[in-house]
Every structure is written in C-alpha cells, then in structure tokens.
Structure 1
Amino acid sequence: MWWSSDRAHQEQEQAISQIERKWDQVPDSGTSSGKPPVNATESPSDQNSPGATQVPSEPPPGTTQGPEPPRTTPVPGFSAPGQMSRQRPGTRVQGGEALGILHIPRLGARWRVPIFEGISRARVLNRGFVGHYPSARPGEVGNFAIAAHSITHGAPFANLNRLRPGDRIHVETSTTWFTYETVSGPYLTSPRNVSVVAPIPRHSGFKAPGRYITLTTCWPPITSAKRMIFWGHLVDTHPRFPNTPRPQ
C-alpha cells in the first residue's frame, strides 16, 4: 500500500513537471513569451476550424437560470456564450492526455494533482492522477466531472470530505485558470448512480444548464462501498501565463 502511494506521488510530480515544461515552451499563436494574446477569443469566422468545440447558447432571457454566471476575463480557449471555444488538445505526457492541473486550497496550500483524460485504473487512477469522465472540459457549458482514489495509489482525494460550501477549486490549463466554487456535498450514493455526473447533475441542486464541476471518489476509503460527491459551479476565469500565481 505504502509503495503504491510513494510511486504515485513520484508520478504526479513528474507529470506536473512535464506538463508545465510543454505548456511554457510553446507560446500561443499571436503571443510572445509572457505577454497576453492580441486576440483572446475566437471570432465567428473560426467556427468551422478543425478542433473547434461548440459551446451551447445560454437560456434566453426570462427562462429559469442556473447559478449566477461567472465573472470572466476574455481568455484564449474560453469564449462568450454562443460563440465557439477552441481549447487546446490535452498535453501528451507519460503515455496519456493531460487536461490540466487541479488545485484545491482546502486540501493544502501546495496541493495539486494532474488531470488526465479517462478514468482507466491502470492508465490514470492507479498512477495517482485525477481522471476525467467523458464530459465537458474545463470552463465549458456542462459538467466537468472528475474522479480520483481516496486510498492507495497516491490517494489524491483522501481528504475530499474536508471540502465546504464556498471553497474554491482551481483548474489550471495551458491557457487559463478556471475557478469553481463548491456549492453542495458531500453526497453519498451507489457506484452505479451515473446521474451525479450528468450535464445537469442530479441531487446537486442545479436546475438549469451551467458550467459545473463534479468531484467523485470511493467512500469510505477502506470499504469503498459508496461514492462521495461534491459539486461546484464556475465563478471566474483568468489567463494563464508562465509563472503566474494561482488565483486566491
């Protein structure tokens, strides 16, 4: 048990170092090192560009709304509602696709874990990484749903039960800091209850489309009979440049 966690911690740090090196050595098109991009958002003419991702429109005025929309600064990879959003593909490191780095201040001032595409035990979770369900990507309309172990293999979510409403959850990508705020949880449910990671997650209290995050882990750590769930919604975004500090 201790050996698997020690190995996973090493893999976490190696992955983060590789991710940051790749992010910082390849500047975005139209930028120079350490300087903001000239055009931070995609124009309508980019809507048919390869790799573009459709961001659904917000509900029209007068309809039921979800949580208050985030205070957003125009940033590369994140566009206004109804426009196209082109996020970079995940960064290829250690045989997987890294989407970003997760920071949860409640779990420690220096707590951070890489997020990889997929929830394969062998390729992602057992290596100490946070796994991304087939769901929205960071900042997109929908539910950015992620999972990690609560025991062994680095146990990134061993102390997830410490989260409280209002706690910030930061997702760092190659271009952007996405800040979510914890809204509800912990909620314990069956491992077969997939509705908790739906685009509008059931039991979360959200009633309309929005930009949500769901964190899941086995609970309690010893028996893993249930899944513990926390939900949050996007409240802010900031551009990411090399050596920029984590948002507060």
Structure 2
Amino acid sequence: MSLLLLRRLGLTWELANEGSQLIQHSPSKLLFRCNLRVKILVFYFSFHFLLLFFIYLQKHFHRGLKVLDDMDASGVKPDCHSFTYLISHCTSEDEINKYHDMMDGMGTPPTKHLHKALIQSYVACKSLERARHVVKENGTSDILHSELMNTLAYSLALHGEVEEARRVYDQVLQSQGTIEPLTALCLIQRLDSADNLKYLLELLKHLTDTDLWDAGCSSILLFCVRHKNLEFSRLSS
C-alpha cells in the first residue's frame, strides 16, 4: 500500500505515513495494535476498499451505494474521490444523478476531476445536454473551461458523436483555448469523411508528444489509403 494511495483516501500525511509503514513492514501490528489512530486508519480504509471492490471488480452499483450508506451511518464521510469513481462507472443517467445528489446532500465539495467524470459519463449515456450543462455551470475560469471543453470534445468523439466533437473543438479554438493532445488524437482517429484531410493536418499540430504524433501520422496515412489519396501518402512516406 503506497503512501500516496492512502493519502488519496483522505488521510492526513502523518496518519497515512504511519499506516503505510505498518502495512509494509509490520502488517500484524496493524491488525492487533490498539492505537486509536491505527483503528481509524483500518476503519476508514475498509470502507473505501469495499467501495472500490464493488465498483472495479463486481460493478454492483447498488452495493456501492450500500457501502456509502454504511459509511455515512458510521460517521465516515466519503470524499470526492469516492463519488468520482462511482460516477465514472455509471451506466445510466439515473445512476449518475443519484450519486451526484447524494454528494450534494453530504456537502462534499466537487473537484474538476468530478466535473470531468460527470461529462464523460453523461456523454456515454447519451445525455449530451447534461454534459454541456456541466461545462457551462463549472467552467468558472478560462483554464478550467478549456479543460472541460476538451473533456467534452474527447468524450463526444470517443462515443461516436464526431461532428458534435468537431463543433466543440472549433469553439475551443475560437475562444483561444488550448487543445489537449489526447483530444486532437481522438478526433484524428475518428474523423473519417473524405473531405477531412486538411482538418486532420490541422489537428496534427496539437500533438506535441512524439508518441502521440507518430500515432496521429499513422492514422492520417491510413485515412489517405482508405480514401485513395495516395499522392499525399507517398509524400508523407
């Protein structure tokens, strides 16, 4: 168990450090030591472990909800990471709204990662207006708005809403926002109309990472072969 993981579960650095050392070097002491601080660590970690177990291994969301109820009844307040994990793996708009409402009811402060999870899950569930609403309501600064718009464009392209993703991308450019490399690559790999070549080459400029640039070039070359634009393919090779 890494110190960082324990810290992400919401523990203080001091308590996380103590728990991390005990788990690594003296697991038996972690189970039998009667120190109150260690009891808190085990108690808190157990609930989060159950929550993640049901989400990642079983995907039984009703059981994840039951763990949240047990946490609340036991005085253990779930943090935003817990709700982010839950929302990221929802399969319907009702599930997303249920966990979001529960988070609001508990007074859990949201983070940009939660907003991104909401956008991705709403798009996956075809609730595009709800996804746009998340961007509109939470893009409180130019930087955050650009990040959320990138998440929206990426999610739309990933789930087949390519033309809508392209419109979002154009809006980011018009507002002089930053296009993230993964957003550009996702669009390159999914824009497949024969008249999109010039657009794809513009997207390629946003791939500053060498590996992503190689992946983007490969996708464009395959695009040219599919649409028989062999002159460009020969020049590129």
State the TM-score, normalized to the length of structure 1: 0.24
Relative CO higher for 1 or 2, CA cutoff 8 Å, sep ≥ 6?
1
Structure label with greater radius of gyration: 2
**Structure with the largest fraction of strand:** 1
